[in-house]
Amino acid sequence: MADTPQPIRGTQDIFGADAEAFGFVVETFERVRRLYRFRRVEMPVIEKTGVFARSLGETTDVVSKEMYTFDDRSDESITLRPEFTAGLVRAFVTNGWQQHAPLKLATHGPLFRYERPQKGRYRQFHQIDAEIIGAGEPQADVELLAMADQLLKELGIADGITLQLNTLGDAASRDAWRDALVGHFERVKDELSEDSQDRLSRNPLRILDSKDPRDRKHVETAPVIDDYLSDEAEDFFGAVTTGLNAAGVEWTRAPRLVRGMDYYRHTAFEFVTDRLGAQGTVLGGGRYDGLVEQLGGNATPAVGWAAGIERLAMLVAERDEPHADFALVPMGSDADLAATSISADLRRAGHTVELAYRGNMKKRMKRADESGAGYAIIIGDDELAENEATVKNLQSGEQQRVALGRLVEHFRA
């Protein structure tokens, strides 16, 4: 007997209540993005590797350690997308979408990163994503954050989630802060973890994210961005926080918060919770002015966020599979045909229908009960002889006969 194939490590099959929670997150996101008039967009799952290497930065962990990259049959380097933003910007540039700027875009789907699987994190995972490309005003940041805040509230998970907010300043501010961080961590390099020693030369801002106890004491005494902000960067961040207050979005300052990609500038944020263990970020993003230019477009400001669907679904209250409105219980081949016709009519009228077409009468009625339906519509030889169906209220047990041709009208009354 052949070995049973196993799923690839870091992937998952989603079913039952988990699948319903997953679907609820996506449906809620779709509804909220329409409220904010974000336009739906779809892009390829694969891109040329350069799209991510140029945009994310060769020194980031994603590019250096986590991307699924391979040569296709034309010997071109291809990568499974590890995040949405770079692909969205590539689409913006190559399709000439600049004519629509400022352009509000939203999407969701699978992403791929080769990292250690852990609670709520997988090698194939799914995200929802929202971006505003072509808007340099702080009001764009505020609108995106208000949208994220409303999404979490409509998912029913906002309690216990905190918006942490920081600024990375403009390019000059960030570069000055980076140099100060390098100087700070160089002085204690031998006391840092191996990962942080490696990041010191490649991406020193990422040391601020370290959870290693060896790093934390030095992170807590590290320079903060405020000491290096230009007047312009300070004014921009002030406009964002004032706008959030006006929109009724609660936030807390996190002066050492950074984002992992090289392209971030100005606003950086994360919605965090302690309900998911150490990896507590459920939604994050920021402003990435300069990325469009890196990918061959004109200098174009942009801001966006993304959130893991699996992680959001873990916070959603357990969702049962939806109940059926009706369960059809046919007995006999002629009854099967009648039930097929009736179920089609009921579904066209907007009703959910469970068709119990296997087993004896007892098993079919058990399936009808398990579907959670309010009514069972029973069709046997006696009913067919009268061109009727027996309609049973599964809560009260009451039964009545209804003409087959009047079933839809009967339940509309």
Binding site, annotated residues: 83-85, 113, 127, 131, 259, 263-264
Which DSSP state fits 200?
A: H
Cα–Cα distance between 310 and 113 in angstroms, integer? 15
Alpha carbon separation from 248 to 145, 167, 238, 244, 260 (Å, rounded): 11, 20, 16, 6, 28
CA angle 54, 106, 58 (to 5 degrees): 15
Q: Annotated binding site for L-histidine, which residues?
A: 83-85, 113, 127, 131, 259, 263-264
The closest alpha carbon to 115, from 169, 68, 174, belongs to 68
| DSSP per-residue letters across 291-333 | HHHHTTS----EEEEEEEHHHHHHHSPP-PPPPPSEEEEE-SH
Element (H, E) at 270: strand 265-272
Sequence-separated (6 or more) residues with CB below 8 Å from residue 209 = 258, 260
Q: Residue 94, class by beta-carbon neighbours within 10 Å (0-12 exposed, 13-18 middle, 19+ buried)?
A: exposed
Q: How far is CA 388 from the centre of its chain?
A: 48
Sequence-separated (6 or more) residues with CB below 8 Å from residue 387 = 403, 404, 405
Sequence-separated (6 or more) residues with CB below 8 Å from residue 410 = 391, 402
Token pair 């801001």: residue: 303
Token pair 């904010």: residue: 36
Cα–Cα distance between 225 and 227 in angstroms, integer? 5
